[in-house]
Amino acid sequence: MRALIGAIVVLGFAGFVTAQDKKDEKIDAKKLIGKWAPVDDKAPVTIEFTDKGKLTLSIDIGGKSEKIEGTYKLEGDKLEMVMSFGGKEQKETVTISKLTDEEMVGKDSKGKEEKFKRLKAK
């Protein structure tokens, strides 16, 4: 019985430490730099992040390409983006849960999860 309780305590502590490690993980801002596209490919959209805090959102509709310029700031796991179009400023905050060399996963302010893949340079 004592061994069982000891095992439960050890496993519980290990789970807590693992959860804390994930919570404290920092997003590497350098991995954000580059061009990204939605994984589902339903929307003809690409977003490019530069190392100077600027972003460009490109939308291809009916053979025409529309570009929207903006800025971004990454603090911890929060990606804050500000874009201007149609004379209005649009702000969006995304909580990034995963950022690798090839994949970015995050939730927007409405709780919708979005997955992006890095586009290779041509």
Whichever domain contains 35, its CATH number is 2.40.128.280
Range of the domain at 52: 28-118
- Residue 7 included in any domain: no
Asked whether 104 and 96 are in contact (CB, 8 A), the reply is: yes
- Residue 9 included in any domain: no
The number of domains in the chain is 1
Q: Is the pTM of this model over 0.85?
A: no
Per-residue model confidence (pLDDT) at position 61: 82
Distances (CA, A) of 122 to 32, 45, 47: 18, 17, 16
Each of the 122 residues of the chain gets a pLDDT tens digit; together they read 333 343 343 333 333 333 334 444 678 999 999 999 999 867 789 999 999 999 999 998 888 889 999 999 999 999 999 999 888 999 999 999 999 999 999 999 999 999 999 998 76
Whole-number Å distance between alpha carbons of 95 and 75: 10
User: What are 1's strand-pairing partners?
Assistant: none
- Residue 15 included in any domain: no
